[in-house]
């Protein structure tokens, strides 16, 4: 697939560039290395978008018969034409390993850059959430006092803007529970995860109630934690009509989307987490969000009541309480 080939070339070029980099002996060498690493960090900023386009291209090839889709390596030739695109297990295993590795590399590079340079200035390739290195609440990208309620409100504002841009209306987002809670986490990634969940909730609610008179039902976010709790738990509840039971597993597929294919074909984004992206259609939002959560030792789950709505549960481990899940 052309887009996947582009990503492959980006990684090969970056790997060769890092291999050729001279050893660091002085502070000036370290500053040069940081500049080079930041350039590579920016170079990889739209890899998720490119991979989503690759999935779109693969989907077209499978459905047109150009590529034979199989559930796993043991399928015979007769089975290959009858396998659902979303159930190509070998492809899923590869994508799980690829995305988990990518998250680890981005975290390592971002943490190095945040620790060694002040990237809070305008023009940095790092997120706006990256702190000033003199802020004592931060160790690199990790905020020791991350406020879930503050990040929920920011993600809700971004999701509302995207919903208004698409539909002209948007449901209200209500935040309840432990609004005073803080815990160690990386705000950038928590914002991305919450934005994906809220985009889905706002989109479903708006579309499900578009033909009904009166105000849209609110989307409710509940933040829970306690001294004896294993995780910080965030629940996002919507009345968007729910998901059929037969489709629950598919929503975790990197290869599945319910949106218009023209969105994937036409969208060109500068980076993966841009608020300029469409509210739905790129196909990787939920599975990538779950990969982020699992990388940091947590998990994500959905409970849906078809005809009514969906509850999304986000289980967050405090940074430092879990080991990195290296792909094998």
**What is the reported pTM?**
0.82
Token digits for 271?
């980076």
pLDDT at 82: 45
Give the pLDDT band (50/70/90) at residue 9: very high
- DSSP annotation of 239: -
pLDDT at 261: 57
pLDDT at 55: 78
CATH number at residue 41: 1.20.140.20
Asked if residue 135 is part of any domain, the answer here is no
pLDDT at 68: 66
Say whether pLDDT at 150 is over 80.
yes
Phi, psi (degrees; rounded to nearest 5) at 261: -55, -25
Is 148 found in the same domain as 96? Answer: no
Phi, psi (degrees; rounded to nearest 5) at 321: -100, 5
Domain that holds residue 206: 142-316
* Dist CA 109 CA 119 (whole Å): 13
pLDDT at 175: 97
250 vs 220, more confident: 220
Is 154 found in the same domain as 300? Answer: yes
Asked if residue 295 is part of any domain, the answer here is yes
* Exposure of 74 in the CB half-sphere (CA atoms within 13 A): 0
Contact between residue 57 and residue 1 where contact means Cβ atoms under 8 Å apart:
yes
Asked if residue 321 is part of any domain, the answer here is no
Say whether pLDDT at 194 is over 90.
yes
Is 281 found in the same domain as 178? Answer: yes
Task: Please name the residues in contact with 162: beta carbons below 8 A apart, sequence gap of 6 or more.
Answer: 199, 202, 275, 277, 278, 279
Question: Total domain count for the chain?
Answer: 2
Nearest of 77, 75, 90, 94 to residue 4 by alpha carbon: 94
Mean pLDDT of the chain, nearest integer: 82
Is 149 found in the same domain as 68? Answer: no
Is 178 found in the same domain as 297? Answer: yes
* Dist CA 261 CA 267 (whole Å): 10
Asked if residue 167 is part of any domain, the answer here is yes
Task: Please name the residues in contact with 90: beta carbons below 8 A apart, sequence gap of 6 or more.
Answer: 70, 72, 73
Is 168 found in the same domain as 106? Answer: no
Is 115 found in the same domain as 172? Answer: no
Say whether pLDDT at 26 is over 70.
yes
**Domain end (from 130, 159, 178):** 130
**Domain end (from 98, 130, 162):** 130
| Average pLDDT rounded to a whole number, residues 133-143 | 80
Range of weakest confidence among 15-19, 65-69, 141-145, 239-243 = 65-69
Say whether pLDDT at 48 is over 60.
yes
Asked if residue 206 is part of any domain, the answer here is yes
Asked if residue 322 is part of any domain, the answer here is no
Say whether pLDDT at 238 is over 60.
yes
Is 57 found in the same domain as 101? Answer: yes
Give the pLDDT band (50/70/90) at residue 84: low
pLDDT at 119: 42
Token digits for 327?
């792909």
**Domain end (from 109, 130, 151):** 130
Asked if residue 136 is part of any domain, the answer here is no
Is 302 found in the same domain as 197? Answer: yes
Spell 22-54 as b/e; 16+ CB within 10 A means b.
eeeeeeeeeeebbeebbebbeebbbbbbbbbbb
pLDDT at 78: 46
Give the pLDDT band (50/70/90) at residue 61: confident
Say whether pLDDT at 236 is over 90.
yes
Is 156 found in the same domain as 267? Answer: yes
Say whether pLDDT at 73 is over 60.
no
Integer angstrom CA distances of residue 185 from 33, 226, 297: 26, 17, 11
Asked if residue 207 is part of any domain, the answer here is yes
Give the pLDDT band (50/70/90) at residue 129: very low
Is 13 found in the same domain as 125? Answer: yes
pLDDT tens-place string over residues 265-307: 555 455 555 555 555 555 678 999 999 999 999 999 999 999 9
* Dist CA 325 CA 295 (whole Å): 6
Is 160 found in the same domain as 75? Answer: no
Q: Which residues on neighbouring strands pair with residue 236, listed in sequence order?
A: 221, 312
- Helix spans in 74-186 (H): 77-80, 89-116, 148-167
């Amino acid at each position: 697939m052309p887009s996947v080939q582009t990503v492959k070339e980006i990684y090969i070029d970056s790997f060769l560039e890092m291999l050729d980099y001279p050893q660091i002996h002085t502070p000036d060498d370290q500053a040069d290395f940081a500049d080079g690493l930041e350039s590579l960090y920016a170079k990889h900023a739209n890899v998720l978008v490119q991979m989503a386009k690759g999935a779109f291209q693969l989907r077209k090839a499978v459905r047109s018969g150009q590529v034979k889709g199989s559930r796993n390596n043991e399928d015979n030739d007769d089975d290959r034409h009858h396998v659902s695109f979303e159930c190509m297990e070998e492809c899923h295993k590869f994508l799980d390993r690829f995305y988990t590795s990518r998250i680890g590399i981005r975290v390592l590079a971002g943490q190095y850059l945040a620790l060694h340079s002040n990237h809070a200035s305008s023009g940095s390739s790092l997120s706006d959430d990256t702190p000033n290195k003199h802020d004592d609440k931060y160790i690199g990208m990790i905020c020791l006092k991350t406020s879930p309620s503050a990040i929920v409100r920011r993600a809700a504002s971004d999701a509302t803007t995207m919903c208004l841009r698409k539909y002209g209306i948007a449901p209200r987002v209500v935040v309840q529970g432990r609004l005073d809670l803080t815990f160690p986490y990386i705000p950038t990634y928590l914002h991305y995860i919450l934005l994906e969940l809220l985009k889905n909730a706002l989109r479903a609610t708006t579309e499900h109630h578009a033909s009904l008179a009166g105000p849209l039902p609110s989307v409710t976010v509940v933040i829970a934690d306690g001294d004896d709790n294993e995780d910080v738990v965030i629940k996002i509840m919507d009345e968007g009509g729910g998901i059929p039971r037969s489709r629950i597993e598919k929503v975790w597929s990197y290869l599945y989307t319910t949106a218009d294919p023209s969105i994937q074909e036409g969208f060109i984004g500068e980076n993966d987490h841009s608020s300029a992206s469409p509210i739905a259609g790129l196909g990787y939002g939920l599975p990538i969000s779950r990969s982020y959560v699992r990388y940091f030792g947590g998990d994500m789950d959905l409970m849906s009541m078809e005809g009514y709505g969906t509850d999304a549960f986000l289980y967050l481990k405090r940074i430092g309480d879990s080991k990195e899940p290296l792909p094998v």
